[in-house]
A and B are shown apart, each in its own frame.
Chain A
Amino acid sequence: MTLTQERPVLSVRGLSVRFLMPGGRRIAAVTDAHFDVAAGECLALIGESGCGKSVLASALLGLLPANAQAAGEARLGELNLLAADERTLARTVRGRMVGLVPQSPAAHLTPVRTIRSQLEETVGALTDARERTAVRAAAEAAAERAAFPTDHLGLHPHELSGGLAQRAATALALVGDAPLLLADEPTTGLDRDLVDHTVDELRRHVDDGRRALLVITHDLAAAERIADRVAVMYAGRIIELTDAKRFFGTPGPRHPYSRGLLQALPDRAFTPVPGMPPELGDLPDGCAFAPRCDRVTDACAVRPPTIDGVACHQPHVPERLRA
């Protein structure tokens, strides 16, 4: 079962995000998301670009643009991240409670400063280390934890390969020893070897049982390698939330969209899900996947409730449960 004995580090209940556009248009970027992530566990949030997964991550970090409205709850300890003010988010949440491993480390790192100086600054901001040698030691320790070679600390971001820039960014995320690590597309554009390396390193940071890891990715191979559970997003909703081994192995996913997504992989059928996702400003009343679904029936004109982690009227039934 997916129930964890411990209290989850992050507990999301009914999280929704609406963007208010000029002309009164409303974009339903995230709708009614529910999930938990526990210490020592990795949840991968997967889906195609524009499905709402990055917006969800921004909501957790309090980084939504001004025209966004978030509703629901995202509890991290005693704090509801969605209700926290900017001061709280800046002083106690980002870096201290949530460590962000960014999508594009090149853009996240400051170009004109060495990795060492950025790490030391973060150490100074997020930890009690004040004395010069202590700050230096803490920065080097963070670099080591992220497998960033300490003899490269004097380099600037543009002098680093993609893999090393990713590690530098990961080192920054680890400095504050936050209970939740949030990795937003950590493997985009990396070679497969580096993808494997990066996710294995991220995984190591949760395996000590002290942190929870939420990975947002469109890279299904990376998700399979790192996650204990997966949540599939489609058109702003989590349409399937299940155990990663069952999802990627047998019996496989149950939602028709999840199945289609896996079948698109080059080591599976390599066939796309037909059509494209709907506009988030113009979602149908019923199942948003209906125009692309090969199992659609009249029932699908009504939005399917989520039962056993699957939001579908006709989910695939695991073989052994069939009569």
Chain B
Amino acid sequence: MLELHDITAGYDSRTPVVRNVTLTVAPGEAVGLLGPSGCGKSTLARVTALLHRPDSGTLLLDGEPVRRWRHRAPRAHRTVLGVVFQQPRLAADPRLRLTDLIAEPLRATGRRDEIPHSVGELAAAVGLTPDLLDRRPHEVSDGQLQRACLARALVLRPRWLICDEMTAMLDASTTAALVAAVENYRAASGAGLLAVGHDQLLLDRWCDRTLHWDDLAVGAKTKPDQPTR
């Protein structure tokens, strides 16, 4: 199970953007988390992805409580999570060729020998052709770069996937292709998914169940048309 219990998080402890959120994802389950932009759902995704330490609450990964976040998070925790963000340009090192981008987690975990096989297999799974693998981020489109970022997220065969607005910038066909690649991976691996987004049609079609942010975040006021201060 992926379990979030009573999580409160933010950037200023006086005004947390996530308040007392509890949710669980079962193995193999796809859970959508729907909310307007700026509501704090991306912060919750970052907490779940071990990238942002919550102010309070518990995150359990397969029953084990997470105690450290960011670069101090233990490798055993980091490697069971795959993460894809909204903006591939911000998530990809511009100097790396796509093939190295996808292989990055394998290198970082000392599994270089798996690179040729895994990268080839994943490139095909996300629909990247060999000529694209040799290019750097500025030589490909957003959609192509996001395909590479998804391949990178899958390369360690994570048990849990977190997709934070993965397709918000993409056209309908690329969206359908990326979602299909996630679902093929999940069907083969049994991985669970937390898909965070603002498009209800998409989340309803994609996920087993969709949670609404306002129902989760008890007491948190999130009105998209209010200024954020």
Q: How far is the CB of B38 from chain A (nearest CB, A)?
A: 6
Known contacts: A49-B141, A218-B171. The answer to whether A192 contacts B199 by CB under 8 A is: yes
**A161–B177 touching, CB < 8 Å:** no
State whether the Cβ of A112 lies closer than 8 Å to any Cβ in chain B: no
State whether the Cβ of A193 lies closer than 8 Å to any Cβ in chain B: yes
Q: Which of B129, B206, B226 contacts A266 (CB 8 A)?
A: B206
What separation, in Å, do the CA atoms of A48 and B6 have in the docked complex? Answer: 40
Q: How far is the CB of B40 from chain A (nearest CB, A)?
A: 13
Known contacts: A155-B227, A163-B224, A270-B179. The answer to whether A218 contacts B172 by CB under 8 A is: yes
What separation, in Å, do the CA atoms of A164 and B224 have in the docked complex? Answer: 9
Known contacts: A161-B225, A266-B205. The answer to whether A191 contacts B170 by CB under 8 A is: no
Q: Which of B127, B168, B200 contacts A276 (CB 8 A)?
A: B127
Main secondary structure of the interface of A (DSSP, over half): loop
Kindly list chain B residues whose C-beta atoms are within 8 Å of the C-beta of A160. Answer: 227-228
Kindly list chain A residues whose C-beta atoms are within 8 Å of the C-beta of B179. Answer: 270
State whether the Cβ of A8 lies closer than 8 Å to any Cβ in chain B: no
Kindly list chain B residues whose C-beta atoms are within 8 Å of the C-beta of A158. Answer: 228
**A161–B228 touching, CB < 8 Å:** yes
Q: How far is the CB of B201 from chain A (nearest CB, A)?
A: 5
**A272–B129 touching, CB < 8 Å:** no
Q: How large is the interface on B (under 10, 10 to 19, 20 to 34, 35 or more residues)?
A: 35 or more
Contact digits for A255-299, partner B, Cβ 8 Å, 1 yes 0 no? 000001110111100111101100000000000000000000000
Question: Would you list which residues of chain B between 193 and 227 have a CB under 8 Å from chain A?
Answer: 198-202, 204-206, 224-227
Question: Would you list which residues of chain B between 110 and 129 have a CB under 8 Å from chain A?
Answer: 127, 129
Kindly list chain B residues whose C-beta atoms are within 8 Å of the C-beta of A189. Answer: 37, 86, 165, 168-169
**A264–B176 touching, CB < 8 Å:** yes
Contact digits for A135-171, partner B, Cβ 8 Å, 1 yes 0 no? 0000000000000000010010011111110000000
State whether the Cβ of A194 lies closer than 8 Å to any Cβ in chain B: yes
State whether the Cβ of A304 lies closer than 8 Å to any Cβ in chain B: no
Interface centre among B86, B173, B180, B200 (most CB of A within 10 A): B173
Kindly list chain A residues whose C-beta atoms are within 8 Å of the C-beta of B144. Answer: 276
**A159–B228 touching, CB < 8 Å:** yes
Kindly list chain A residues whose C-beta atoms are within 8 Å of the C-beta of B190. Answer: none
Kindly list chain B residues whose C-beta atoms are within 8 Å of the C-beta of A271. Answer: 176, 180
What separation, in Å, do the CA atoms of A264 and B178 have in the docked complex? Answer: 11
**B172–A261 touching, CB < 8 Å:** yes
Interface centre among B86, B171, B179 (most CB of A within 10 A): B171
What separation, in Å, do the CA atoms of A48 and B179 have in the docked complex? Answer: 16
Known contacts: A161-B37, A189-B37, A271-B176. The answer to whether A49 contacts B142 by CB under 8 A is: yes
**B173–A261 touching, CB < 8 Å:** yes
Kindly list chain B residues whose C-beta atoms are within 8 Å of the C-beta of A49. Answer: 141-143, 169-171, 174
Known contacts: A194-B36, A266-B201. The answer to whether A273 contacts B173 by CB under 8 A is: yes
**B199–A161 touching, CB < 8 Å:** no
Kindly list chain A residues whose C-beta atoms are within 8 Å of the C-beta of B165. Answer: 189
Kindly list chain A residues whose C-beta atoms are within 8 Å of the C-beta of B170. Answer: 49, 218
**A192–B176 touching, CB < 8 Å:** no
Kindly list chain A residues whose C-beta atoms are within 8 Å of the C-beta of B177. Answer: 272
**B224–A272 touching, CB < 8 Å:** no
**B227–A267 touching, CB < 8 Å:** no
Kindly list chain A residues whose C-beta atoms are within 8 Å of the C-beta of B143. Answer: 48-50, 276
What separation, in Å, do the CA atoms of A194 and B204 have in the docked complex? Answer: 19
Kindly list chain B residues whose C-beta atoms are within 8 Å of the C-beta of A192. Answer: 198-201
State whether the Cβ of A20 lies closer than 8 Å to any Cβ in chain B: no
State whether the Cβ of A236 lies closer than 8 Å to any Cβ in chain B: no
**B127–A162 touching, CB < 8 Å:** no
Q: How far is the CB of B79 from chain A (nearest CB, A)?
A: 29
Question: Would you list which residues of chain B between 69 and 86 have a CB under 8 Å from chain A?
Answer: 86
Kindly list chain B residues whose C-beta atoms are within 8 Å of the C-beta of A164. Answer: 225, 227
Q: Which of B127, B176, B224 contacts A275 (CB 8 A)?
A: B127
State whether the Cβ of A47 lies closer than 8 Å to any Cβ in chain B: yes
What separation, in Å, do the CA atoms of A265 and B172 have in the docked complex? Answer: 6
Q: Report which B residues bind A (CB closer than 8 A).
A: 36-38, 86, 127, 129, 141-144, 165, 168-177, 179-180, 198-202, 204-206, 224-229
Mind listing 26 A-B residue pairs with CB under 8 Å?
Answer: A48-B143, A48-B174, A49-B170, A49-B171, A49-B174, A50-B141, A159-B228, A161-B37, A161-B38, A161-B225, A161-B226, A191-B36, A191-B37, A192-B198, A194-B36, A264-B176, A266-B201, A266-B202, A266-B205, A266-B206, A267-B205, A272-B173, A272-B177, A273-B173, A276-B129, A276-B143
Q: Report which A residues bind B (CB closer than 8 A).
A: 47-50, 152, 155, 158-164, 188-194, 218, 220-221, 260-262, 264-267, 270-273, 275-276
The 3 closest A-B pairs by CB, nearest first: A272-B177, A48-B171, A272-B176
Given A155-B227, A261-B172, A264-B171, 4 other A-B residues pairs in contact with their CB atoms under 8 A: A50-B143, A159-B228, A261-B171, A272-B177
